[in-house]
Amino acid sequence: MIYTSPAIEAAIEALSSLPTIGRKSAQRMALHLLRQPPEHVEKLASALTTMRAKVQYCATCFNFSEEDICPICASPKRNHRVICVVEEPSDVFAIERSGDYSGVYHVLHGLMNPLEGVSAGDLKVKELIRRLDGEMDEIILALSPTIDGEVTAQYIARLLKPIGIRVTRIARGVPVGSELEFVDDATIARALQSRVTA
């Protein structure tokens, strides 16, 4: 159905570009927003614009941050000799929520996928290598136990071997094929505790 208002049509089109939002949901959202007081809609729009303008990548770990260096990387309370390598910023949220990890992170922003032409060069892998110095105790590979996660973990483990840093992978408890961000806190905490050498 095409609306009599090009403005409504444009809003629906913009909303339906969001992940998991089909045209029907976008339509429902647009009509809902039309029934709200203008200041409510203004608040929503401004929250999105402000977020986009303020948030960038941390120059060290590539998590989202409002500063050049994120609060985790900047914190003296964290153990900077242990780096947990994850696929997406949402994995950092998941592991932080489990409350069981005191090291720092490195966000790859994806996983290798040879079939789709995603190679290590498309990820923040060389940025990880650049961070490493003689002071490192351990690199924990906390990647999804999917095929892409396996390929990426093996690649990074091979790359780190000559550097002589201990490389581990999170262990049991994470169901095969699951995405880390959907795993519950207790399972993440358990998987982090019982990690194995990569």
Residues found near Zn ion in the complex (CB under 5 A): 58, 60-61, 70, 73
| CB closer to Zn ion out of 11 and 103 | 103
Strand order in the sheet with 166-169: 103-107, 79-86, 138-141, 166-169, 196-197
Location of structure tokens 């941390």: 58
| CB closer to Zn ion out of 130 and 172 | 130
Q: Which two tokens stand for residue 110?
A: 């994806």
- Residue 128 beta carbon to Zn ion: minimum distance, rounded to whole angstroms: 12
Chain centroid, CA 23 distance in Å: 26
| CB closer to Zn ion out of 70 and 160 | 70
Measured CA to CA, the distance from residue 175 to residue 172 in angstroms comes to 8
Rounded to whole angstroms, what are the CA distances from 20 to 15, 76, 167? 10, 39, 35
- Residue 75 beta carbon to Zn ion: minimum distance, rounded to whole angstroms: 9
| CB closer to Zn ion out of 60 and 144 | 60
- Residue 71 beta carbon to Zn ion: minimum distance, rounded to whole angstroms: 8
Determine how many CB atoms are found less than 10 A away from the CB of residue 185. 14
- Residue 41 beta carbon to Zn ion: minimum distance, rounded to whole angstroms: 34
| Contact criterion met (CB below 8 Å) for 168 and 139 | yes
| CB closer to Zn ion out of 74 and 157 | 74
